[in-house]
A and B are shown apart, each in its own frame.
Chain A
Amino acid sequence: MLRSGRAFARLCFPDSIYSVIFEQRSRAAREDPCASAPNTADMQTDLKKRNNIHLSGSGKTTLVLAHGYGCDQNMWRRIIPHFERDYRILRFDHVGSGKSDERAYDFDKYASLQGYADDVAEICAAFCDGNTVFAGHSVSAMIGVLAASGNPGLFRRMVLVGPSPCYVNDGDYFGGFTPSDIDELIFTLENNYLGWSRHIAPVIAGGDENADTARELENSFCRMNPAIAKHFAKVTFTSDNRGDLMQADLPALVIQCNPDVIAPVEVGKYVADRLPQGTYTELKVPGHCPHLTAPEATAEAVHTFLNEIS
């Protein structure tokens, strides 16, 4: 369905600079054979810029915080104080989200969640020494599952907040949505970005720091350029990673809100059930972002899980 990111870029913005930039970028990537062999310091610098990586706190264990669709690392800010004393915390923005380097957004690479999982593995290899706990919200839960199953030993444990391996209903499986719901989401995105023509989009994307200050403030969180927002939405909500759950063989905690209209309770239970070492915790708060709306309860659940195991 999303075989070609290039085609999708054209579909989103047939005449936009994005498809042009995208073409140039993929060409540059193909033509630069040295791009894959930098030294560690350079690599860290590159990754910091690409994924807007921030490190804080101290401890033997690194807690890697990955945000979900539609957001950025700011989503974790109310959680961080609960862990900074005992953990080294690494938070980052996925490429295309927040203040990541949008130029690194390759529509082909990010046409599946594996592209993001590869980034996570890369980040952990560059910044962590093996003693890593990965916490992923929403789509990042599955990104973590993919990273873990492809790289055994990459994480010691995983925390999955509001995970869903498949948003679309499929036979007996209940994901909560139909394909037309996902189309509706894309339509809603279009309606909200319709003023963001090719003239405005680069500003919103964070390229121009001298942009109008009021707008700057308004879009300082959870930024996304329209073409990427649509692409990421499609990739997120049409992915099916049910088969990957079995491969992530490490202690994993599912934190589930009740009710959650994005990832319903049934789905959270399904995930915990399919993970070889899954544990299920339910928070009696509604919503999809407990780390933002119920940070204490969320932090407590994570603490309990980490202390129990270690």
Chain B
Amino acid sequence: MTAVSNDRIEAAQAALDAHVRDIIAHHFSPETGTPVWLDYAKAAGWDPREEVRSFADLIERFDNFDGERLRTDAHEMWIPRAFAGRPFTIFETGGSTGMPKQRIGWDDYKLDYEEFSELLDDEAFPPGGYWLMVGPTGPRRLRLAIEHLANHRGSSCYFVDLDPRWVKKLISSGQGDQAKDYMRHVVDQALSILKHRKVDALFTTPRLLEALGDEISIPDAGIKGVFCGGTEMDPQNVRFLCEEILEGQVGFVPTYGNTLMGLACHKKGFEKENYSITYYAPQPRAVLRVTDPEDSRKLVDHGEWGRVELTTLTHEFFLPRFLERDAAKRIAPCEDFAWDGVAEVKPYAKNEEKIVEGVY
């Protein structure tokens, strides 16, 4: 682990605290504020603008946000007055069934991905080259975000959709064969694009990447960089993707993100750290904490497992202390990011149940 000076950690902390004050002032003031938060302050009987002066205060004073509200609240409740009158985009969370969680927004996704673009290597993701996204498009933020990212880099992007809700339904109703056929259908479409068009960069999920790599040599298909996200990636799977699916010849950029957060970047050089990937939230716009499963106000120690908690802090969207359904290891700040990271993210429930195989 490359050391990072205490000065930089403190500076990042100070910047976060200042950002918290700015965001709180924005969402809780009558002029620019958001109905949800104005109502909250009224009911709570205290003024966050007075009492939340730092990120630590925010953790202390706000409880875990109930994500169910994102399914039921009228969108109007979530429009900051500062944005009144501007049409918004509605984004939905990943593979949920039933009424999805929704987040409305304006420019956040563009800002997040423009920032992210700075971290991409031009060799693996050549500006002006073509992109292909194979994965959940539909109502997801990711779809517009990837196109914006490509455009921002002077590129255009092809899309092949994968509907994860349908896959979930097929699997939960025991139609595994149908699910396989559907995946095959998705892969076939991607293969046709790759066969007939020149594609330089790919965004996809680990599983689809594996399925594509089973059919063709990805470097031979001309792909120079793969940007991957959507599901958990344990070190062995990452190594397998890098060494065997990408044949050690293609840039690999794993990310962790969702509609509510944006996207977290990985720390470079994971190949030298046994492929354990550490992600760092786009602080101060979002903060990830690895919390004690018993008491999410407490953090676990560095290197320990805990439950991931997200706080989103933008002028468009304030979401305090939302508990994700993910478990991760808490990792210390590093040279590139002067705040805590999360590593080896996996579904939270999986952490609890140890599956015991049958007797035989």
A binds B: no
